[in-house]
């Protein structure tokens, strides 16, 4: 505190310096005049009297300096003087200032833009009270997942969540939240109980009544949910909206309370507006409306999940009790879950149990985190390399400028300036430049972070991530500016102030031996900086090549199906109200309508879809197989329509496909993939064998080749297929897989219109070609490849510019030498070749240093690679070739220009 007061006192003294010095000068003149009068009275002439008085008191500057020392403001005043000098100096060199500021703005701005996303997605805590006490119960990436069949332990059914909440002894309380699917909302106009707006689709989330109390988030207006919302299913038709949605949709109207919102034909009442800045516990989703979980069967009567233990769709979050650790909470919650599942099964499970995740929750939950975390970390490393290259480039510019100022520095030293004072003055110039560059970089960061969110989005809009420039981002940008000032300013400052005064004053700056950038034959600082830029550029170019080749391999990988001719259409048949056999008839009516469309070669359907929809798993028993661990009895599955394998282009390896003979009154059958066949039956044929799923025995009728369903990187997993017509629990959302004779995109709209025309109650959720869906699944890879390519291009340009600047400077310094060589008979081509050889040595040195760095750096992206190795020879050769071509072209320009100079001009240049 005393230190802070001292600094404040010095600042005040400095601000009042002018008035204090004016008073001091008036007092000095008074005493000087009084001493002059005394000398006159002693008999001296007026001029002699004044001279003697001046000798007695000395100059006014001595008292001014003493006064500054007494106030403790000398260092501040000198710093302010340095700042003003730096501003004047840069104003007199506009081209130099512009180039440096632009370079710094791009470097600092790019780093800040990437850090903004890292902070928003990976680092920033939830805007709630005491977020460090929060833990996630379940998998924080499965926030929108739904799984039917057997009970899951990484996300839960509502009955299982209630068991956890009731038996919990380690958490103060725990809430559950789950996806709300697509909401069809009509907002009733104010003062009108009947009129409503057009259909909107706000982002919603089902939550338990204690949601806001656990998070300790209050209401900006009205109230939030409470115990009444959990009392009885459908008893509280209430909705809480986010503050941002209130501002955007209702213009902040306080009359929004008690307004009606009709969601899925159910009239709800707005009871509150959440606190500003809060958009939910799911980072990157931007929840707009919160709905009581007890309204789920009311809003989705065709998918009543609330009481079903076979439907898993909730993830929990709670607050630790004092003294309880995350590890203790995980053990306690796992015990509750295992006991409940054992009780439901009627016996204790044997073998290894699936884990029950419980993890730190202060940064919320997010599916995006698992998708983009590794990519953003890689981007931070890459953009840091770009900043280093930019700092090296600016350092080269500063060294060049320092060589021009060698005479100025020598004059200052000759006049008594200390080296430390000169270094501080030059560092102040660097800091001044860096601060201005950082300020401009914030503008680049604002644009860049939004651009990155748009690039990363798989849809038409940007990812709804809160990428604002908050205090953490501003502090990071300021730290970058300070670090950059040291990186590019310290070395030139030390080098420029280490000068031989006598030599420099006798010669011009061009002829100073061993200038800051080095000589043509020596290895100076400038050459080291350029070689370093080449080495760092090699790392980025290698990364660019490997990621581009990875993306190409992923986009062309064999997914085990006909990706180029499939159209995927997702529909919601729940609004039709059909159940049982009627629902099966709706499926088949829509399927027949689709098949009648021109250009449709074949069509089928499934519950989960390919690269869309959800995923289902189930436990089962295989005839003749004894499981040793729990995982041996689980596999992914889907419920599919007739001719499924043939329509999607999967390879039928044994037996037959599911077809129309497989009805509800026929023998239950199942189709398995080749991975499942090998795991359970080895080399034996599985045809005619059986598996038992939930007490029903299914005969294996065929083996189909492995198909990649959601992740092109994923290894094949065990999967089986059941006929939709034989299902006892029919889905309300269905996916049609349509094989087309031409481009699937051309049929997207006609098929959608045909479905709506066939049944107006059916909602078409999406209609996209499979190839487009697969490309969307690569959004993180595409983002990483695009941005690293951009950074690699910037690094290549900067390295070329750095070499161009260095060779231009060195050839200018050696014009006298070239003149002598001309006079002695050297050919112009020989001189050009000599300069290019020197440039090639720099490139070779940088490449030799860069290759080990590149191989080491590529280990960081090893997990992102697919189909290529970190030592891929094609990528190494291409990177070296591009780098050598670019920098040699940059070096050729000054070499050719120097070779064209007249020998007479060259000899007179010194």
Give me the DSSP letters along 9-76.
Answer: HHHHHHHTHHHHHHHHHHHHHHHHHHHHHHHHHTT--HHHHHHHHHHHH--HHHHHHHHHHHHT-HHH
Give the pLDDT mean for 450-469.
Answer: 72
For 226, other C-beta atoms within 10 Å of its C-beta total 16
Contact yes or no for 538/881 (Cβ under 8 A): no
**pLDDT beyond 60 at 906:** no
Q: What is the SS3 assignment for 622?
A: strand
pLDDT at 570: 92
pLDDT at 510: 45
233 vs 103, which has greater pLDDT?
Answer: 103
pLDDT over 70, % of the chain:
82
**pLDDT beyond 60 at 818:** yes
Question: Which region among 386-390, 465-469, 760-764 has the lowest average model confidence (pLDDT)?
Answer: 465-469
Phi first, then psi, for residue 323 (nearest 5°) are 85, -5
122 vs 133, which has greater pLDDT?
Answer: 133
Measure the CA–CA gap between 846 and 803, rounded to whole angstroms: 11
Question: Which region among 129-143, 309-323, 446-460, 830-844 has the lowest average model confidence (pLDDT)?
Answer: 446-460
811 confidence band (pLDDT: 50, 70, 90): confident
Q: Dmax over Cα atoms in the chain, in whole Å?
A: 138
pLDDT at 514: 45
Most confident of 325-329, 347-351, 707-711: 325-329
Tokens of 747: 């049929």
pLDDT at 282: 93
190 confidence band (pLDDT: 50, 70, 90): low
Mean of the per-residue pLDDT values of the chain: 82
pLDDT at 777: 84
Measure the CA–CA gap between 225 and 207, rounded to whole angstroms: 9
Nearest to 656 by CA among 688, 690, 693, 691: 688
pLDDT digits (tens, 9 = 90+) for 585-606: 888 899 999 999 999 999 999 9
Phi first, then psi, for residue 205 (nearest 5°) are -150, 135
Could you tell me where the beta strands, DSSP code E, fall in 597-695?
A: 600-606, 616-619, 621-622, 634-640, 652-655, 669-673, 690-693
692 confidence band (pLDDT: 50, 70, 90): very high
Sole residue written with tokens 């750095």: 802
pLDDT at 407: 63
**pLDDT beyond 80 at 341:** yes
405 confidence band (pLDDT: 50, 70, 90): low
- The model carries a pTM of 0.75
**pLDDT beyond 90 at 247:** yes
Measure the CA–CA gap between 802 and 887, rounded to whole angstroms: 9
Give the pLDDT mean for 548-565.
Answer: 90
For 125, other C-beta atoms within 10 Å of its C-beta total 13
Contact yes or no for 441/108 (Cβ under 8 A): yes
Could you tell me where the beta strands, DSSP code E, fall in 642-694?
A: 652-655, 669-673, 690-693
The residues, ordered by sequence, that sit 6+ positions from 824 with a Cβ below 8 Å of its Cβ are none
């Amino acid at each position: 505190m005393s230190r802070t007061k001292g600094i404040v006192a010095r600042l005040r003294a400095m601000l009042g310096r002018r008035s204090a010095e004016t008073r001091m000068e008036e007092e000095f003149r008074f005493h000087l005049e009084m001493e002059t009068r005394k000398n006159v009275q002693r008999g001296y002439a007026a001029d002699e009297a004044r001279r003697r008085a001046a000798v007695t008191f000395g100059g006014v500057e001595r008292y001014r300096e003493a006064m500054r020392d007494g106030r403790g403001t000398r260092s501040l005043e000198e710093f302010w003087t340095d700042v003003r000098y730096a501003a004047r100096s840069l104003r007199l060199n506009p081209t130099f200032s512009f180039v440096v500021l632009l370079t710094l703005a791009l470097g600092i701005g790019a780093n800040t833009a990437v850090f903004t996303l890292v902070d928003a997605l990976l680092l920033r805590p939830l805007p709630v009270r005491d977020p460090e006490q929060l833990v996630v119960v379940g998998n924080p990436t499965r926030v929108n997942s739904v799984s039917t069949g057997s009970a899951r332990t990484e996300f839960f059914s509502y009955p299982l969540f209630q068991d956890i909440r009731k038996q919990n002894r380690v958490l103060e309380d725990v809430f559950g939240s789950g996806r709300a699917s697509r909401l069809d909302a009509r907002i009733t106009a104010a003062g009108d109980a009947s009129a409503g707006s057009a259909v909107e689709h706000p982002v919603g989330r089902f939550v338990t009544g204690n949601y806001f109390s656990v998070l300790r988030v209050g209401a900006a207006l009205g109230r939030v949910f409470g115990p009444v919302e959990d009392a009885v299913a459908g008893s509280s038709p209430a909705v809480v909206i986010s503050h941002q949605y209130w501002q955007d949709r209702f213009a902040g109207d306080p009359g929004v309370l008690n307004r009606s919102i009709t969601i899925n034909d159910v009239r709800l009442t707005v009871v509150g507006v959440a606190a500003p800045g809060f958009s939910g516990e799911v980072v990157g989703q931007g929840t707009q409306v919160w709905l009581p979980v007890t309204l789920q069967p009311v809003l989705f009567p065709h998918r009543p999940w609330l009481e079903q233990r076979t439907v898993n769709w909730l993830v929990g979050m709670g607050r630790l009790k004092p003294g309880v650790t995350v590890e203790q909470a995980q053990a306690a919650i796992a015990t509750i879950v295992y006991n409940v599942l054992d009780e439901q099964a009627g016996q204790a499970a044997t073998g290894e149990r699936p884990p029950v995740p419980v993890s730190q929750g202060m940064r919320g939950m997010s599916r995006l985190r698992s998708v983009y975390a590794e990519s953003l970390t890689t981007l931070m490393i890459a953009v840091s390399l770009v900043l280093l290259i930019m700092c090296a480039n600016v350092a080269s510019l500063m060294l060049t400028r320092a060589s021009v100022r060698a005479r100025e520095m020598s004059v200052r030293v000759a006049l008594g300036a200390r080296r430390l004072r000169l270094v501080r003055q030059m560092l102040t110039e660097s800091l001044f430049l860096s601060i201005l560059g950082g300020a401009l970089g914030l503008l680049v960061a604002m644009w860049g972070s939004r651009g990155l969110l748009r690039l990363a989005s798989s849809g038409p809009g940007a990812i709804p991530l809160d990428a604002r420039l908050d205090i953490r981002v501003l502090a990071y940008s300021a730290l970058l500016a300070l670090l950059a000032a040291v990186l590019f300013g310290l070395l030139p400052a030390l080098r420029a102030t280490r000068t031989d005064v006598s030599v420099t004053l006798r010669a011009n700056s061009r002829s100073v031996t061993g200038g800051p950038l080095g000589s043509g034959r020596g290895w100076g600082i400038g050459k080291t900086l350029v070689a370093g830029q080449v080495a760092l550029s090699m790392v980025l170019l290698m990364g660019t090549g490997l990621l581009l080749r990875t993306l190409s391999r992923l986009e062309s990988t064999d997914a085990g199906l006909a990706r180029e001719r499939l159209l995927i259409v997702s529909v919601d048949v729940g609004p039709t109200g059909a159940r049982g056999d009627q629902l099966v008839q709706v499926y088949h009516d829509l399927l027949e309508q689709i098949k009648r469309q021109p250009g449709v070669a074949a069509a089928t359907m499934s519950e989960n879809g390919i690269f869309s929809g959800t995923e289902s798993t189930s436990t089962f028993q295989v005839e003749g197989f004894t499981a040793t661990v729990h995982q041996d009895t689980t596999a992914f599955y889907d419920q599919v329509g007739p001719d499924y394998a043939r329509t999607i282009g999967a390879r039928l390896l044994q037996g037959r496909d599911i077809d129309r003979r497989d009805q509800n009154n026929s023998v239950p059958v199942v189709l398995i993939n080749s991975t499942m066949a090998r795991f359970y039956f080895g080399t034996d044929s599985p045809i005619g064998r059986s598996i038992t799923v939930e007490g029903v025995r299914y005969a294996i009728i065929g083996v189909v080749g492995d198909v990649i369903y959601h992740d092109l990187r994923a290894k094949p997993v065990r999967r089986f297929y059941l006929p939709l017509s034989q299902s006892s629990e029919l889905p309300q959302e269905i996916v049609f897989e349509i094989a087309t004779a031409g481009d699937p995109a051309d049929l997207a709209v006609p098929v959608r219109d045909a479905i709506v025309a066939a049944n107006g109650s059916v909602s078409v959720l999406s209609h996209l070609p499979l190839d487009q869906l697969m490309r969307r699944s690569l959004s993180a890879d595409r983002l990483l490849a695009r941005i690293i390519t951009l950074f690699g291009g910037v690094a290549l340009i900067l390295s070329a510019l750095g070499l161009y600047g260095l060779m231009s400077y060195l050839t200018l310094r050696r014009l006298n030498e070239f003149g002598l060589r001309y006079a002695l008979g050297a050919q112009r081509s020989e001189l050009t070749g000599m300069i290019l050889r020197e440039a090639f040595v720099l490139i070779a040195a940088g490449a030799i240093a860069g290759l080990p760095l590149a191989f080491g750096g590529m280990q960081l992206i090893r997990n992102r690679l697919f189909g290529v190795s970190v030592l891929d020879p094609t990528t190494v050769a291409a990177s070296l070739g591009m780098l050598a071509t670019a920098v040699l072209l940059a070096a050729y320009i000054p070499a050719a220009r120097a070779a064209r100079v007249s020998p007479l001009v060259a000899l007179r240049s010194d």
